[in-house]
Amino acid sequence: MDAVHVGRQPIFDAAGAVVAYELLFRGRLDAVESGRQDTYATSAVMVNTFTEFGIAEVVGNRPCFINLTREFVTGRLPLPFDPDQVVLEVLETVDVDDEVIAGLTALSEAGYRIALDDFVWGSGHEQLLGLASYVKLDLLDGDLSRLDEIVAACREYPGIQLVAERLETEAQVAIADHYGMELRQGYALSRPQVLSTPSLSPSRMRRLELVAALMSPDVPLDKITTIIASDPALALRVLRVSNSVAAGVVSRISSVRQAIMMVGLTRIRRWATLMVVDDVGEAPEEQLLTALAQARLCESLAPRFGADPGAAFVAGLVTGMAGVMATTPAAMAEQLPLSAEVADAVIHGAGRLGQVLSTVQAYENGEWGTGDLAGLSLDAMRWSTLTLTAANAYAPGKTGN
């Protein structure tokens, strides 16, 4: 199974407390440097942070700084998250022109905080100071001879906090102190940590199918639900995204449909678009087939126990995916905004949904007396196989995921 990685470097205040994290692209667990700062890298950081890990697992309740390329600044690629917990870091490689200024103005007016990375006076980025909440100054390779001038110019904007970055020596920390720079970042304080988690990438064809369906302004919610529920990795990503949306919200989800409604079709469209850009390796179909069949069997069996079929599908999906990802259902449940009924079933085997799960588990273990599920199980496996392979069956030259 493939793993995905995100680099995370703390940003400290002057007293040494961690107040934010910068999220960085990492292609490998042992990567020290990112190696790339392009649109793919930005997309990978966003998708991995919010849909593979879950934002709370990566940064808790602190803000995260995410690098933006021109495509995101100008709106050609969508930002799929709210502004609450994200600071948009404009890379020094972005050439400032009218389109960039208009894009950042719109993002600022939408509530996003802007940071100017590796700020250099005369690069054109000084035109953005009126939109910025943070200016990052490179104290390792930057031109320190103009520091007085740059700091004075930034101080004319009371809303700007200065971030001293690439601090590698005590002398550089002393410079940050001398100029009263509010925030600090660098190896002298903390090196980036690489976080890793197993990845179950949705089928590329399924993602494309979802994007195509979402292009229609009046697409039925049932169609979107069917596409997402048919790919367990995609469904799990939507559940994780709904968890970040659900922070502070009383309601908890009990079905894929409810998660989609909580996230909203606009944001689902944005995530689907980024998943297409984020061209990561695909998980083999056989790893997902069992999890999907289990979810479908739970859904089919639910009426026998007076349980809700949609909730049973989610309970079966979470339980099945926990096995594939070599973790426990309880650990999976903690990452998702499940309703109390679904969570109790997954963690404790409680309630009617718990009966559904235990019956399915007993059947899969070959226990006596569960043979009457053979028909439903065959139907579930047939549905799962058709669901996972239908898109590829009509793709010329494709033989699998």
- The full DSSP string for 97-159 is -HHHHHHHHHHHHTT-EEEETT--TTSSGGGGGGG-SEEEEETTTS-GGGHHHHHHHHHTSTT
Closest CA to 202 of 25, 47, 347: 47
Q: Which of 28-42, 154-168, 237-251, 303-317 has the lowest mean pLDDT?
A: 28-42
Give the helix ranges, DSSP H, for 85-130.
98-109
pLDDT, position 323: 77
Looking at the domain assignment, is residue 226 inside a domain? yes
pLDDT at 394: 29
Residue 398 lies in a domain: no
More confident residue, 1 or 100: 100
User: Does 250 have pLDDT greater than 60?
Assistant: no
Reduced to 3 states (helix: H, G, I; strand: E, B; else coil), residue 9 is strand
Query: Which of 43-57, 300-314, 379-393 reaches the highest mean pLDDT?
Result: 300-314
Q: CB 117: neighbour CB atoms within 10 A?
A: 23
Which residues span the domain enclosing 364? 204-393
Whole-number pLDDT of residue 279: 37
Q: What single letter denotes the amino acid at residue 352?
A: R
Residues 212 and 297 in one domain: yes
Among 197, 225, 254, residue at a domain's last position: 197
Q: For residue 400, is it within any domain? A: no
Mean pLDDT value of segment 240-247: 66
What is the number of residues in the chain?
401
What digits encode the pLDDT tens for the residues 320-368?
878 777 778 888 777 666 778 888 999 999 999 999 999 998 888 877 6
pLDDT of residue 25: 79
268 shares a domain with 186: no
pLDDT at 152: 95
Q: Residue 268: inside a domain, yes or no?
A: yes
CB-CB contact of 137 with 164 (8 Å): yes
Give the three-state DSSP class for 66.
Answer: strand
Specify if 129 maps to a domain: yes
Please tell me whether residues 246 and 190 are part of one structural domain.
no
Higher pLDDT, 153 or 80: 153
Please indicate, yes or no, whether residues 342 and 242 belong to a single structural domain of this protein.
yes
| CA dihedral for 342, 348, 350, 356, sign (positive or negative) | positive
Residue 131 predicted with pLDDT over 90? yes
Asked whether residue 68 falls in the same domain as residue 181, the answer is: yes
Do residue 155 and residue 304 come from a single domain? no
d(CA 206, CA 204) in angstroms, rounded, equals: 5
Residue 14 has a pLDDT of 94
State how many domains the chain has. 2
Domain termination site, one of 141, 170, 197: 197
Which residue would you say has higher pLDDT here, 326 or 117? 117
Is 42 found in the same domain as 67? yes
Q: Are residues 154 and 245 in the same domain?
A: no
| Domain identity same for 190 and 222 | no
Residue with tokens 């007293």: 15
In a domain, 144, yes or no: yes
The mean per-residue pLDDT over the stretch 58-77 comes to 86
For residue 401, tell me if it sits in a domain.
no
Same domain assignment for residues 27 and 57: yes
* Residues 263-283: tens digit of each pLDDT: 887 777 667 656 654 533 344
pTM for the predicted model, two decimal places: 0.58
| Range picked from 120-124, 139-143, 154-158, 286-290 for highest mean pLDDT | 154-158
248 located within any domain: yes
Residues 90 and 236 in one domain: no
91: domain CATH number is 3.20.20.450
Q: How confident is the prediction for the chain on average, in pLDDT?
A: 80
Is 229's pLDDT higher than 70? yes
Report the distance separating Cα 260 and Cα 250, nearest Å. Answer: 16
Average pLDDT over residues 146-155: 94
The three-class DSSP label of residue 10 is strand
Distances (CA, A) of 198 to 10, 13, 38, 324: 23, 33, 24, 10
Say whether both 43 and 145 belong to one domain: yes
Out of 197, 221, 252, a domain closes at: 197
Question: What is the DSSP-derived secondary structure letter of residue 281?
Answer: P
Q: How distant, in Å, are the alpha carbons of 59, 74, 256 from that of 263?
A: 20, 23, 11
pLDDT confidence of residue 390: 45
